[in-house]
Amino acid sequence: EGKSMRDHLRFSVVYWHTFRGTGSDPFGPGTAVRPWDDGTDSVDNALKRVDVAFEFFQKLQAPYYAFHDRDVSPEGSNLAESHKNFDRLAQALKDQQQATGVKLLWGTCNLFSHPRYMHGAATTCNADVFAYAASEVKKCLEITNDLGGENYVFWGGREGYQNLYNTDMKRELDNLGRFLHMAVDHAKKIGFTGQFLIEPKPKEPTKHQYDSDAAACLNFLRAYGLEDHFKLNIETNHATLAGHTMMHELDYAGMQNALGSIDANTGDLLLGWDTDQFPTDYYQTAQAMWMILKHGGLGSGGVNFDAKVRRESFEPIDLFYAHIGGMDAFAKGLKIAAAIRADGQMQSFVKDRYASWDSGIGAKIEAGQVGLEELQAYMLEKGQSDANTSGRQEMLENVFNRYIDRV
Ligand code: GLO
Ligand code: NI
Ligand code: NI
Ligand code: NI
């Protein structure tokens, strides 16, 4: 559909899980064997990690990567020192990008790990913390711009609340709106032309996340006049946590021209949290790609593996297997989805279902030519409505799956 297969598979490796993940969980410390890493958060160690990361991207032939400021560069003892560290690391990233041709899909700020962000960042009750977060976004935007980042992501982190008895939700959302407007203004000022993306997610880490799903994000963006500046970064496991499917979230974003990029992982059906498992299921990736193709692709976005190896998969080689498995699942999913769309049968299910709408009064309704009065007159004359007989609900998924088995 006007694009090559590769345009749809702009794979991206995340710095956080892949190079900073330790395999720790609430029940025990890290298990990961990372021979290049001395386990400290020093600038020296961070510089070593950059070389390892780019060697990994190249061996994997991944065209893109993504980072948070704190993944690539250690927190300093004050803001100025953090900025200085970030400058040093950004130079190393830039050198490696130039040497290897690997590009930055997006940058973002970690505004959720440090204890200062325990009440949120843009939605904190502490104005100094708001100012701190704003300073970090300013810096990270400038560095993302300098590294040619094609997008800039805001995932809500701790932007939400645990309890309404001590939360002024309206005030916090107003402040989030202000924060994002400041980012838009600064992007304009420094000439950053990348796409801003909001990444919806419910439930984690706060009980009520403000950006819980695509619909909540789009409503927020419109309420604060930000809709022209942001699209969405849709993550599979976040969609399922919100009680939706990935297809639903992609379609909802796509129909409002807000489909920006995807964080590829898989929503676990057994566990109720964001397990960030690598996508391995062709049935799921075919569904996702089918919806992405329906909306004309991801634009400046990509297929970003926001996924981590299991705690038991601690050897460095497992990082390769995991990404190769994910790339393979998406490549196969795209192939299947493209074949199904080219065939046209699935699209005909939609057409058939609305056939009587289109041939009857429906055309006038959609053209805005009738109101309640005309519709009542029409119906009084007709006396009774037809029953819509085109169903076939039960076989639709089966038809899709049979295609998958054939491709
Ligand atoms: C957490 C999110 C997180 C974001 C990242 C980039 O569940 O998926 O990993 O993708 O912070 O904004
Ligand atoms: Ni994510
Ligand atoms: Ni996530
Ligand atoms: Ni994640």
Phi, psi angle pair for 4, to nearest 5° = -80, 160
The Å distance, Cα 271 to ligand 4 centre, comes to: 14
Query: How do the pLDDT tens digits run along the chain, 407 residues long?
Result: 567 888 889 999 999 999 999 999 889 999 988 888 888 899 999 999 999 999 999 999 999 999 999 999 999 999 999 999 999 999 999 999 999 999 999 999 999 999 999 999 999 999 999 999 999 999 999 999 999 999 999 999 999 999 999 999 999 999 999 999 999 999 999 999 999 999 999 999 999 999 999 999 999 999 999 999 999 999 999 999 999 999 999 999 999 999 999 999 997 778 788 999 999 999 999 999 999 999 999 999 999 999 999 988 878 999 999 999 999 999 999 999 999 999 999 999 889 888 888 888 999 999 999 999 999 999 999 999 877 666 677 788 888 888 888 88
Quote ipTM for the complex. 0.95
Distances (CA, A) of 192 to 143, 152, 183: 10, 10, 10
Tell me which ligand sits closest to the C-alpha of residue 237: 3
- What's the 110 CA to ligand 2 centre distance in angstroms? 12
Q: What are phi and psi of 158, to 5 degrees?
A: -95, 25
Ligand 1 centroid distance, CA of 155 (Å): 6
Quick one: which atom of ligand 1 is closest to the CA of 157? 11
Name the closest-CA residue to atom 3, ligand 1. 155
> Distance (Å, rounded) from C-alpha 296 to C-alpha 197?
18
Q: Which residues contact 129 (CB under 8 A, 6 or more apart)?
A: 116, 117, 119, 120, 121
Task: Please list the active-site residues.
Answer: 68, 71
- Write down the pTM of the prediction: 0.96
Q: Quote the ligand 2 centre to 354 CA distance (angstroms).
A: 36
The b/e string for 137-147 (b: 16+ C-beta within 10 A; e otherwise) is: bbbbbbbbbbb
Q: Tell which one of 197, 204, 263, 277 to mutate to probe ligand 1, the residue whose CB is within 8 A of the most ligand atoms.
A: 263
Ligand 1 pocket, CB under 6 A = 68, 108, 153, 155, 199, 201, 235, 263, 274, 306
